[in-house]
Amino acid sequence: MNSSERLDAIFAALADPTRRAILARLTGGGGASVLDLARPFRMSQPAVSKHLQVLERAGLVSQTRSGQLRPRRLEPQALAKVDEWLEPYRPYWKDHKR
């Protein structure tokens, strides 16, 4: 996946409010299981797993292995790509605050 395709995948993943909420839950550091991540949502574990697959394909989340557990972790490098893309626009929104 080239840089442009990666950025497209990141923005597509971030477009969904459930996926943004999952990322927010992962900002506490450490990792979280699918069951932990599914707890606050009114959806099945497989539905949350599908959201996690989208986040993983975009590089926003990774899966590690600890025995039988497979906790997910936030990958800050993908968010850094978004920040890099936004950088040229910062002066514009700073100058046009209301």
The percentage of residues in the chain with a pLDDT greater than 90, rounded to a whole number, is: 58
Are the C-beta atoms of 53 and 12 separated by less than 8 Å?
no
Name the pTM for this structure: 0.86
Does the pLDDT of residue 1 top 70, yes or no? yes
Alpha-carbon Rg for the chain in angstroms = 15
Domain count within the chain = 1
Indicate whether 29 pLDDT > 80: no
pLDDT at 9 over 90: yes
Provide the CATH number for the domain around residue 80: 1.10.10.10
* Structural domain containing residue 45: 3-95
Across the chain, where does the E strand assignment appear? 61-63, 72-74
**How do residues 50-95 score in pLDDT, each as one tens digit?**
999 999 999 999 998 877 778 999 999 999 999 999 999 888 877 7
